[in-house]
Structure 1
Amino acid sequence: MERDADVIVVGGGNAGFSAAHAAAERGRSVIVLERGEGQTAGGNSYFTAGATRIAHQGLEELAEFVEPDERHAVSTVPPYSSEEYLADLERVTEGRNDPDLSRVLVAEAQPTLRWLAGLGLRYRLMYERQAYDRPDGTYLFWGGLHVGNVDGGKGLIADHTAVARRLGEDVRYDHRATELIVEDGRVVGVVAEHDGRRVALRAESVVLAAGGFEADPEMRAEHLGERWAAAKVRGTAFNVGDMIRAGLAIGADRGGDWSTCHSVQWDAFHEHNEGNLDLTNRLTRQSYPLGILVNTDGERFLDEGADFRNYTYAKYGKVILEQPGSLAFQVFDAVTRPMLRAEEYEMPGVSEVVADSLEELAAALGIPATRFVGTVADFNAAIGDAGFDPTVKDGKKASTTPPKSNWASPIAQAPFYAYPVTCGITFSFGGLRGSTEGQVLDGEGSPIPGLLVAGEMLGGLFSGNYPGGSGLAAGSVFGRRAGLIA
């Protein structure tokens, strides 16, 4: 049978486009099948802030490929070494990350971003998310995550799409891939649904980059637990595991941790708090290390200052889900409120409760006032004498239960602010097992001819948690790797 293209890529997000670009640069003809169309195209990548974690030696090196900014002259960007990156992956996953995949990710993340920047993707330093402006007018970056896409996820997909046009890739929207075509043990094509009919397309190689199963409530309940059926889906509604099931059906092995996922604190009461194409990532609430979190019983239940938010935010959605009613409240006072991320806490329709006393705040939230006021009093009384500095792990601790290890600031000055949060699921950590080259492996560890995998579908890098920005980095790195051999 004649081929429709040399390479078919399933999924038009960051990983899929990275694979398509790499293949097209080699002279391969490429078809990209994307289930969305118009504003719904781009998968989860569209909904991200664009933050991408790479190892680097500081501002001078980053300035070689990020957009110019007059603030660079008064900015300090601490180097982030490969050793630190690998240690962060191992630490936050508690050693459950695949060591070979991790080493490739760490080594190739910056070169891959430079390659994408050379193709036309635009990157910048993330001042509003990853730096604090100091009293002397300078900026200090923190947390190892410094680079992101211009215009966030929307800009990321717009730039990828422009590159695809220039390289001659055939991007076909409104195509839901559902099956793999196998002949003589080799994957030779894809079956997709389009315009109410089934379409069979053939190619020498197929790259799977169609995301996880986080948008399917039944798969969430089966693999993550019953409560996960009620989690809010932050991103695309199209990641329902179609191609994971298709891969398993032809003998692909499972990869990674199928029992955990990336989940965050998410606006609980916003009218449109699932798959919001306009606000996208702004429904997250990620300034929690500066305040305290209480549940509907008025009690704290986690260490808000255990680490920089880049290393805790992707696991705290699960903790919120486990609270009564899967609901909690981030609480700040007049001192800390001005330090919160404006893009998240001043967005249109933000769920915000303001009161002149803690008792009034509790009443407005519908939580026990006596217990809540007591929780705040105990917290305030337990705060140590260390200096407060949000740019470092300052050791300013509240020695209570649970402790707050850093950035403990009294909740004492009116007005008081509360932000209701629930669990927003981002992507599932379980997927297909793949080699470091992107080949899909069967149960014996052998490559399935003609089949490659990248992005959220590639299991093994993350478990329980992940370092912020490593998801987009992995999509780019392993997407490019798959495209280089497809």
Structure 2
Amino acid sequence: MSTVHTESFDVVVVGSGIAGSSAAVAATREGARVALLEKRDTFGGSTALSAGMFWTAPDLDAYRRRVPLGDEALGRAVVEDYAECLRELRATGERVSDTPKTDIMTFGIGYSTDILAILAWCRAQVEAGGGVCRTGTAALRVLQNANGAVTGLLARAAQGRVRYEAPAVVLAGGGFQGARDELTRAMGPNADRLLLRSNPGSVGDGLRLARQAGAGGSTAMSTFYGHLIGAPVNSFEPKDFLPNSQYYSDHAVLVNLEGRRFVDETLGDEILNQVLLQQPQAGGVLVFDDHVRSTVGTDEPFPGLGVVDRYQVAVDNGALHAQADTLEDLVARTAAWGIDPAVLGQTLQDYVSAASDGGGFAGGHPVSARARAPRTGPFYALKVQPSITFTFGGVRVDDQARVLDPDGRPVPGLHAAGADIGGLSNHGYAGGLAPAYITGRRAGRSAARAASAEPRPRADVPAGV
């Protein structure tokens, strides 16, 4: 039987993105000795691939309007903690913008940050507090005693299996977007068509570990965050994620591969991205004019992303596209894509009429009063597909980030944060980095307090496990 190396800590954190990093710092500040574990070879998870925008809803009413199906207790926690957490980030000395960005994803408010520097600062704090930060360490199982209380974590590292004895564990693995089987169960067969816009290591480790420990599931399992991407793509590596995202789609007309509208486009790209998944072959076409391409189509949606012609980026990366001087000619050119020109032509005619009248309906779906009819040639058509950055469903937790069983009772010593928890966002999106940092901070504090309240337990695990 192989030997299992044993180490003792107060809190073990699984995942080194902003949720796990925040949890580790918060637990350290509470006096806990922390092990921050990352299964990949580099720290940061999908956070390290992000634009670094620390944003969420400006108030609880805005959260309710944008995420009517959201877990209000979690939404309240994020809104209430946001200002204090922003001050905390500024106190690190790393870059946090002085000027807010408003109307993020149509409604949010936030600040640009140097997120890589903040992640490094977090790790430095953990190590200064006597803790450790390790890559190449994959969590295998949460260890529990006969009463179900957490006693540690079994992990696999290059040197073999390690038993981390600790009375509290925080799960912050980043969601299950990389697990195709989980996606299909949650979202249906079109999930196989989702383009992964994330680090490939987020394969549902937190959800799996929590289930094994007796956790209950959350709402929002079929919803997710991502952006429309040109289709097809020749390359989709991390460097391609941000420039290929068609953030301006809320200013375009979006049709499915039958040439029909299916959503109010002004809801925002992250909503359109989700709704497109349910359309035939999860495929769509954006139709817009030169005014859109030369304004919002090239604008910098977030500070730091840069000004880029997103249509041209998609074209250069292999996306199916068309250009014409009139909408009629554009429709004719898309017929080669298998789209019925009569259907698409009528769809666009109805949209233009409704938008010109100040709103209404076209094809049975709302045309917002904010919608602008495409009227400035040349006109463009771009085939698009949905992508997934992280999932909105996951582990059920309370507002202190304690993991709950199916009956709503806390699993002693188990906590979760960030994209591993479910229900904070639910179709509507309340932000990524800020909610992850805030829920991580609550999880770290709760875990440290749970650890200090109990004598350090031992887990009875056979040496060959």
TM-score (norm 1): 0.79
Equivalent position of 2:45 in the other structure: 43
CA distance in structure 1 between the aligned counterparts of 2:189 and 2:170, rounded to whole angstroms: 32
CA distance in structure 1 between the aligned counterparts of 2:354 and 2:397, rounded to whole angstroms: 48
Amino acid at match of 2:136: D
On the 8 A contact 1:356/1:415 being kept in 2, the answer is yes
SS of 1:218's equivalent in the other structure is: helix
Q: Does 1:101 align with 2:78?
A: no
Equivalent position of 2:353 in the other structure: 381
Could you tell me how far 1:216 is from its partner in structure 2? 0.8
Q: Does 1:239 align with 2:202?
A: yes
Amino acid at match of 2:350: D
SS of 2:345's equivalent in the other structure is: helix
- Write the deviation string for residues 166-204 of structure 1: whole angstroms up to 9, x where unpaired: 541522112221211123432122222223833322223
Percentage identity across paired residues of the two chains? 30
Could you tell me how far 1:47 is from its partner in structure 2? 3.1
On the 8 A contact 1:320/1:326 being kept in 2, the answer is yes
CA distance in structure 1 between the aligned counterparts of 2:387 and 2:244, rounded to whole angstroms: 9
1:405–1:245 distance in 2 versus 1, CA, 3 Å? same
Unaligned runs of 5+ in 2: 300-306, 449-465
On the 8 A contact 1:48/1:280 being kept in 2, the answer is no
Aligned with residue 26 of structure 2, among 22, 25, 29: 22
Equivalent position of 1:67 in the other structure: none
SS of 2:175's equivalent in the other structure is: coil
1:126–1:191 distance in 2 versus 1, CA, 3 Å? farther
Aligned with residue 208 of structure 1, among 171, 196, 207: 171
Q: Does 1:145 align with 2:108?
A: yes
Unaligned runs of 5+ in 1: 56-79, 132-140, 386-395
Equivalent position of 1:437 in the other structure: 400
Q: How does 1:267-306 map to 2 (within 5 A)?
A: 267-273=230-236, 276-305=237-266
CA distance in structure 1 between the aligned counterparts of 2:290 and 2:360, rounded to whole angstroms: 19
On the 8 A contact 1:36/1:174 being kept in 2, the answer is yes
Equivalent position of 2:436 in the other structure: 475
SS of 2:398's equivalent in the other structure is: coil
Equivalent position of 2:15 in the other structure: 11
CA distance in structure 2 between the aligned counterparts of 1:405 and 1:206, rounded to whole angstroms: 47
On the 8 A contact 2:220/2:423 being kept in 1, the answer is yes
Equivalent position of 2:327 in the other structure: 358
Could you tell me how far 1:477 is from its partner in structure 2? 1.1
On the 8 A contact 1:333/1:415 being kept in 2, the answer is yes
On the 8 A contact 2:6/2:164 being kept in 1, the answer is no
Aligned with residue 410 of structure 2, among 447, 460, 463: 447
On the 8 A contact 2:403/2:414 being kept in 1, the answer is yes
On the 8 A contact 1:326/1:422 being kept in 2, the answer is yes
Could you tell me how far 1:445 is from its partner in structure 2? 2.8
Equivalent position of 1:428 in the other structure: 391
Structure 1 vs Structure 2 CA RMSD: 2.7
SS of 1:440's equivalent in the other structure is: strand
When structure 1 is superposed on structure 2, of 347-356 and 436-445 the one drifting more is 347-356
Equivalent position of 2:66 in the other structure: 92
Equivalent position of 1:163 in the other structure: 122
Equivalent position of 2:302 in the other structure: none
Q: How does 1:171-320 map to 2 (within 5 A)?
A: 171-184=133-146, 185-195=148-158, 197-273=160-236, 276-305=237-266, 307=267, 309=268, 313-320=269-276
SS of 2:330's equivalent in the other structure is: helix
Aligned with residue 87 of structure 2, among 100, 106, 114: 114
Could you tell me how far 1:18 is from its partner in structure 2? 0.6
CA distance in structure 2 between the aligned counterparts of 1:457 and 1:47, rounded to whole angstroms: 18
- Write the deviation string for residues 448-474 of structure 1: whole angstroms up to 9, x where unpaired: 22211111112232223223x2x3222
Aligned with residue 457 of structure 1, among 404, 420, 435: 420
SS of 1:465's equivalent in the other structure is: coil
1:320–1:460 distance in 2 versus 1, CA, 3 Å? closer
Amino acid at match of 1:156: I
Equivalent position of 1:72 in the other structure: none
SS of 1:482's equivalent in the other structure is: helix
1:347–1:149 distance in 2 versus 1, CA, 3 Å? farther
On the 8 A contact 1:51/1:146 being kept in 2, the answer is no
CA distance in structure 2 between the aligned counterparts of 1:255 and 1:301, rounded to whole angstroms: 27
TM-score (norm 2): 0.82
1:408–1:102 distance in 2 versus 1, CA, 3 Å? closer
Could you tell me how far 1:205 is from its partner in structure 2? 1.8
1:397–1:271 distance in 2 versus 1, CA, 3 Å? same
Aligned with residue 329 of structure 1, among 260, 266, 285: 285
CA distance in structure 1 between the aligned counterparts of 2:398 and 2:443, rounded to whole angstroms: 10
Q: Does 1:371 align with 2:367?
A: no
1:15–1:417 distance in 2 versus 1, CA, 3 Å? same
Amino acid at match of 2:330: L
Equivalent position of 2:304 in the other structure: none
CA distance in structure 2 between the aligned counterparts of 1:239 and 1:300, rounded to whole angstroms: 33
CA distance in structure 1 between the aligned counterparts of 2:182 and 2:228, rounded to whole angstroms: 21
Could you tell me how far 1:2 is from its partner in structure 2? 6.9
Could you tell me how far 1:121 is from its partner in structure 2? 4.2
1:463–1:118 distance in 2 versus 1, CA, 3 Å? same
Could you tell me how far 1:115 is from its partner in structure 2? 0.9
CA distance in structure 2 between the aligned counterparts of 1:175 and 1:315, rounded to whole angstroms: 35
On the 8 A contact 2:261/2:347 being kept in 1, the answer is yes
